[in-house]
Structure 1
Amino acid sequence: MTEAAHHPAALIPRESAPAVPVTVTSPDSAPVTSRARVGAFELRWRDDAPAALVVPSSTHSGRPGIGLIEVFTAVEQRARTSQAYWRSAVGERLRVQGSQVIAEPDAVRAVIVQSDAISGIEVRTTVTAPTGTASVRVESEIRNAGRETVVVTAISSATIGFGGSASDLDAMMWGSAASEWLAENRWSEVPLRTLLPDIALALHDQDARGHAGLTSHGAWSSGEHVPCGYISREDGETLAWQIETSAGWRADLCQTQEGGVLSLLGPTDLEHQFAHELLPGEAFTAVPVALAVTTARTRAPGNALAELTRYRRWLRGAAVGGQHLPVVYNDFMNTLMGQPTTDKLLPLVRRAAEAGVEVFCIDAGWFADPAIGDWWSTVGEWREAPTRFPDGGLRRVIDAIRDAGMAPGLWLEPEVVGIDSPASSRLPDDAFFQRFGQRVQEDRRYHLDFRHPAARAHLDATVDHLVEELGIRYLKLDYNINPGAGTEHHATAAGDGLLGHTRAFRDWLVRVQQRHPSLLVENCSSGAMRADYALLAVTHLQSTSDQQDFRLYPPIAASAPASVLPEQCGNWAYPARDMSDEETAFTLVTGLSGRLYVSGFLDDLRPAQRARIAEAIALHKELRESLRTALPFWPLGLPAWDDEAICLGLHTPDGDLLFVWDRDAAPAAFTIPGVSSAEVLFPADAADWRLGAGTAGLEVSTPAGIGARVLRVTRG
């Protein structure tokens, strides 16, 4: 059967782009198999089985017979009992009703429609392969085409098999990143067999019933685990994944007699108190996910993470990707710490401008009366505190920022209202998260529900005032509480309400930037507790941490490009007067390894320190355009939290850059493999690190004390 012959016209919309025929094969007497190639991946299905996602060039990524989409309902869970998110009753009955492959200038899309005759569920899945990447994005819409109400309790956004036999799992590794406040992006690898032990499945002639994996908690999508990871083999074949939601998610692993299964899910009933009721004719959109694959014959999971880097740039699109990349100063970290005043800010404004800063962001506290002290429970009005800015108000400081040649920025936490804020009584209860008929309160704060028009209108008025009346051009949007499971108000379950809010908040962000196209938006959330590509696809910068100890920041900064685009990694550099010259350079190298994000009492520094900051900013301006196309790599491996020698590499069109930190207080020597020679870019006058070509790579010798350098790999 051909593609044109087997899809109902109502299921596949008309497309202006040309359709590519689906390949159909039927060797000997085997069931008819249809194939639709999508970049490095391929969809395969038969009349008697659901569609599966495979990688034709890989020996272990993708396996026919593993259905791409699993759907669990309140009435029907699994077709065979287990604890894994695989072999759902509905998923096993899905059959392809229509398909189309569409070639576009920047991607190839395959649209496939499957249905289950018993439940009436219809799943429309779009698999998109961006041009120039070995990745795909998987998006699905689940529609109730039956006559009875269906309550969905979990949906696998993508399920894919790996390995061709149980023994294949023996040579595989599971890579993931633990994360928490002040200790984000802690990547590690473990043998897959530590999670899925060999239990002699062939002897029992059954698939396993257990599972393993990662689960998020509440609305901090990266608060416990970064929402991406990989499975790799010793020969270098790697399958990387990314889940794109600010609500609940799970990456689920299980094993069968033929190999392993990975399921990527948004919120679930068991883990996130999720359920969504579908009346006849209603539809629900599953959380989007991405998969990337590499078959390079070297042991380098970074190759697959680089494919996700290419994918993330495609996801953000040309409009956001073409943004200016300004150097930002923020007065918070190790500086004013949420207590700005006119007298404290004006000297910082002058010194920041002298150093070459282009955006000056006033952080938290600008809205609070200094007499209050702890303003945590009073936030939500978002109007300046006159007593904090006497003699001209906040506008005087903003005018000083603008007169110094910088764009003014402000901190805002849009989704919260303190219990002592007038806004908490002015806004209706329906505009807040609710559980069991009462507002949800977390650390003296209520959580706004952006599905409600009053919540959106409150923040629209706030942002419009700041942009149109005060001339704000940069917003640091923070998120410092985790409201738990979510809200039950106008939702089937709490996790359903949370997902609805996060999607409404993302849509609000898009609309704000449509109204104010010159506005730059930073995604901050107690550092990087909500760093996911539901939000990062529509914002400009991600604060990578709140870590105030400059010695602890390097593993965070060096690992951040595994899950965040280099041009979005806002790495803090906060020189202080009591730092030595080497320590000053150390914190500046951390900032230079992504988007340089400056803080510190610049007016209190020694002249040599101010000169070093100006040098770092000038270098960043030379390098920042290359960040747009840079691909990360890790010559010493993704760093462990306690590593003393740390190295992040960036492949750029102008050559490779290396950001190297030595955290050993004693003299140290280490080798950077794959590099024969390099020159020091920063600090430009550094002469105490010895670099030499060795048989195994670049040999680095450092003196006593911590230090850091920016190197450029020399060619030839």
Structure 2
Amino acid sequence: MSISFDDSTRVFTLSTRSTTYQMQADPYGFLLHLYYGARTDGYMAYLVTYADRSGMCGCPYDVHDRTYSLDVLPQEFPFQGAGDMRSPLLSVRDASGAFGCDLRYVGYEIRPGKYGLPGLPAVYSDDEADGAETLVVRLRDARLGLMVELLYGVMPELDVITRAARIKNEGAGRITIDRAQSACLDFVHGEFDVISFYGRHAMERMPDRHPVGHGSFSVGSRRGMSSNQYSPVLVLCDHTATESTGRAWGMNFVYSGGFEAQVTGEQFDQTRFQMGLSDDRFSYPLEPGEELVAPEVIMTYSDAGIERVSQNFHRCIRTRVCRGMWRDTPRPVLINSWEAFYFDFTGESLVKLAEKASKLGIEMLVMDDGWFSTRRDDLRALGDWTVNEGKLGGTLAELVERVNALGVKFGLWVEPEMVSEDSELYREHPDWVLAVPGKGPVLGRDQLVLDLSRPEVRENLFAQLCAVFDQANIEYVKWDYNRSIVDTYSRASNDQGKVLYDYMLGLYDLLDRLVARYPKILFEGCSAGGGRFDAGMLYYMPQIWTSDNTDAINRLTIQYGTSFGFPASAMGAHVSACPNEINGRDVPISTRGIAAMQGGAFGYELDLLELPERACEHIREQVRRYHEIESIVREGLFFRLSSPKQDPVCAWEYVTEDGLRAVVSAVRLEVEGYGVASYVVPRGLTPGARYRELDSGVVYPADALMDMGFPLPVTLEANAAVMYRFERMDD
């Protein structure tokens, strides 16, 4: 059993393979957080201290003990109105407008398997195979008739615990939820660093690490999506923690809309770490009988460094968030038409591109933006998902048949959540967009956002998309989303504080229907590149376009930051033309290939028809090499061997879980005159074993490799890359 309850102490203990999580319903009915750390036995309430701090710390009315204050005690689900003046997870108003509640423990339930969430993505269990269990802890406010069910999913083999909450109005009057976050960890002492991931369009998920002091550090998104600017992943670690040493805790939000993640150093040198929905434009009323679900947070702990947190996230997301046939299936190497033709293509030019792709071993052609209605630029036609047969020179089915006859699969691009003002859909249904009456809407890329909180809007999109997908053998769909939500007003809602949350429920509903109807289509998420790279989208689409920036050197840092929270199998990464269209940098095609092979969804983003034969030979070799390492990249343990932001060499490694095979790649970022060799030190090999490097035939002892490493060629030029493949010699 991974979950136990001690009736005498009212202590809950949650156990995974390597960790223990413990909380207690105390004598007054408040739920205290006791411990989340290395696996251990015993009762950790001794960690909680009581002292007279009554000068400014409130005491619940029925406690009558000045040494007791929720402003000091570590809590499991802090709420506004209990005397805790720190950042809460829950804030409630009653029908009169009064703030605050008083949640007390009323019961629990333990059941086999992992809970699901109505209408929301969540980690799932594989029946009895992974030993998952669910704990439901019930807290109630008697005055309001407010019931909160705290949901804990314990995935023992993954070393993961998930948290979510169901907030129910069981009273007679309306209540309003102004804040509903999902997870909190309170630390009674410790010196910590926080690692977050900031960025912008085309430079997403830049890692940022700094000490936790007094005061609050928070990141989040008010953009209606998880955003290019901040990732919904946060890591808290010991001040001295490294990749492979020290304690670290991670939170990863399974949600694609606005969020907030926060770490606060408190008055008595305590630390609070929390994550959940953003408060921005959020005020959710609940009538009697209604409920709100706070989306899931994946939590994990490591006492063996930060990389273990990442590896736990990777394994959980790859095997228990991603779903469907493509979860465990090698992804086809593709060529996307965008940087080859932009809007200027025909059916004939696409067929020619597919012919060249076939000769190079590329397995799929993706027809990007410009194939529908009157779409010839980004000013028109979004919302009108009808095939432009004049542009394609025939039906979609005829084009796909010609491409398939070359041995090449076919995919296409869509952006269904948006609409152009110059479109038939907008002219017929101007009320279907999110726009404030009497106010000129804020445009993004000259487009508006459709109100997916409305069933009729979703039904229209579903029908249009199905009509396209049913025409031909479509095997891949790139789902784009290219602007933030600014004007949050739905003509179908009387409570505008519900709109952003209900929009996400609507999006998830639409995606769930499409994925169920087309289980063989490989869906890829995209949002101006990496603007919606989160575990919520990965529940519906097993891969996401990592960034619109395809420069190989910039991508090293983008993919490095992404790897802290997400598996390589989720990262779409392509070789593009040089000089790069975003920053003008020229990088050897060999380096572009090795950098792109860091992702588990590999492909090309250039005009194959203009390439010289030497570049074509590189592509043939890259495709062949990628197929050799694909399973290791997709399923192996990932190690960040150096940092592209701090080190002269960026190196990374994949190792199969059994330690049999490993792939080490490195890009030299700096070169000095008459320099000496740089060394790469692998990790994760089998101690005491020997490994053969498959290209050179050189045999290395694993212990020496993991101690001193091996040298890169001294002659390696700046921005040049190398890849080494190791196989264990089992004598």
* Pair 1:624-2:630 in alignment: yes
1:596-607 matches, within 5 Å, as 596-607=602-613
* Alignment partners' CA distance in 1, 2:177 and 2:195: 30
- Deviation per CA, 1:352-403: give whole Å up to 9, x if none: 112222221111111254xx7533333220222234223x354443222211
Q: 1:93 aligns with which of 102, 105, 115?
A: 102
Query: What residue in structure 2 maps to residue 241 of structure 1?
Result: 251
Query: What residue in structure 2 maps to residue 696 of structure 1?
Result: 708
2:2/2:15 contact within 8 Å kept: no
Deviation at 1:86, TM superposition (A): 6.1
Change (3 A) 1:548 1:589: same
Query: What residue in structure 2 maps to residue 263 of structure 1?
Result: 274
* Alignment partners' CA distance in 2, 1:513 and 1:143: 30
1:152/1:277 contact within 8 Å kept: yes
* Alignment partners' CA distance in 2, 1:314 and 1:243: 16
Change (3 A) 1:338 1:311: same
Q: 1:134 aligns with which of 134, 159, 163?
A: 159
Query: What residue in structure 2 maps to residue 435 of structure 1?
Result: 436
Q: 2:183 aligns with which of 132, 146, 158?
A: 158
Secondary structure of 2:422's counterpart equals coil
1:19/1:101 contact within 8 Å kept: no
Deviation at 1:46, TM superposition (A): 1.7
* Letter paired with 1:607: E
Query: What residue in structure 2 maps to residue 174 of structure 1?
Result: 194
1:239-638 matches, within 5 Å, as 239-256=249-266, 257=268, 259-268=270-279, 272-296=280-304, 300-316=305-321, 319-320=324-325, 322-332=327-337, 334-367=339-372, 369=374, 373-390=376-393, 392-427=394-429, 429=431, 431-436=432-437, 440-443=441-444, 444-484=446-486, 486-491=488-493, 494=496, 496-575=498-577, 583-594=588-599, 595-637=601-643
Change (3 A) 1:440 1:43: farther
Change (3 A) 1:220 1:109: same
Change (3 A) 1:382 1:679: farther
1:442/1:483 contact within 8 Å kept: no
Output the TM-score relative to the length of structure 2: 0.82
Secondary structure of 1:442's counterpart equals coil
Query: What residue in structure 2 maps to residue 187 of structure 1?
Result: 207
* Pair 1:645-2:652 in alignment: no
* Alignment partners' CA distance in 1, 2:359 and 2:546: 26
Q: Which runs of 5+ in 2 are unaligned?
A: 49-72, 93-98, 114-127, 699-703
* Alignment partners' CA distance in 2, 1:436 and 1:57: 55
Output the TM-score relative to the length of structure 1: 0.83
* Alignment partners' CA distance in 2, 1:191 and 1:331: 42
- Deviation per CA, 1:82-140: give whole Å up to 9, x if none: 5x336969888322211122244221211111112233221012100113122111111
Change (3 A) 1:618 1:400: same
* Letter paired with 1:281: G
Secondary structure of 1:287's counterpart equals strand
Deviates more, 1:611-620 or 1:492-501: 492-501
Deviates more, 1:352-361 or 1:285-294: 352-361
* Letter paired with 1:36: T
* Alignment partners' CA distance in 2, 1:20 and 1:240: 21
* Pair 1:655-2:687 in alignment: no
* Alignment partners' CA distance in 1, 2:491 and 2:579: 51
* Letter paired with 2:210: V
Deviation at 1:255, TM superposition (A): 2.6
- How many percent identity over aligned positions? 19
Deviates more, 1:44-53 or 1:104-113: 44-53
* Alignment partners' CA distance in 1, 2:625 and 2:254: 33
Deviation at 1:458, TM superposition (A): 2.1
Change (3 A) 1:88 1:434: closer
Query: What residue in structure 1 maps to residue 723 of structure 2?
Result: 710
Change (3 A) 1:282 1:580: closer
* Alignment partners' CA distance in 1, 2:707 and 2:465: 58
* Letter paired with 1:342: G
2:3/2:135 contact within 8 Å kept: no
Query: What residue in structure 1 maps to residue 95 of structure 2?
Result: none
Q: 2:142 aligns with which of 117, 120, 125?
A: 117
* Letter paired with 1:651: V
Change (3 A) 1:179 1:657: same
Q: Which runs of 5+ in 1 are unaligned?
A: 1-17, 26-31, 197-209
Deviates more, 1:435-444 or 1:695-704: 435-444
Query: What residue in structure 1 maps to residue 174 of structure 2?
Result: 149
Change (3 A) 1:706 1:686: farther
* Letter paired with 2:196: S
Deviation at 1:463, TM superposition (A): 1.9
Change (3 A) 1:221 1:317: closer
* Letter paired with 1:697: G
- Deviation per CA, 1:576-595: give whole Å up to 9, x if none: 59999970101111221112
Secondary structure of 2:329's counterpart equals coil
1:42/1:56 contact within 8 Å kept: no
Deviation at 1:489, TM superposition (A): 4.1
1:67/1:91 contact within 8 Å kept: no
Deviation at 1:154, TM superposition (A): 0.3
Change (3 A) 1:318 1:530: closer
Q: Give the alignment's Cα RMSD to 1 decimal.
A: 3.2
- Deviation per CA, 1:171-224: give whole Å up to 9, x if none: x2111111221111211211123xx3xxxxxxxxxxxxx422112121231321
Deviation at 1:289, TM superposition (A): 0.8
* Letter paired with 2:250: A
Query: What residue in structure 1 maps to residue 117 of structure 2?
Result: none
2:225/2:484 contact within 8 Å kept: yes
* Letter paired with 2:482: N
Change (3 A) 1:655 1:572: same
2:578/2:586 contact within 8 Å kept: no
Deviation at 1:534, TM superposition (A): 1.2
Secondary structure of 1:175's counterpart equals strand
* Alignment partners' CA distance in 2, 1:366 and 1:680: 47
- Deviation per CA, 1:131-187: give whole Å up to 9, x if none: 31221111110011222211110022011112x33xx22xx2111111221111211
The number of residues matched between the two structures is 649
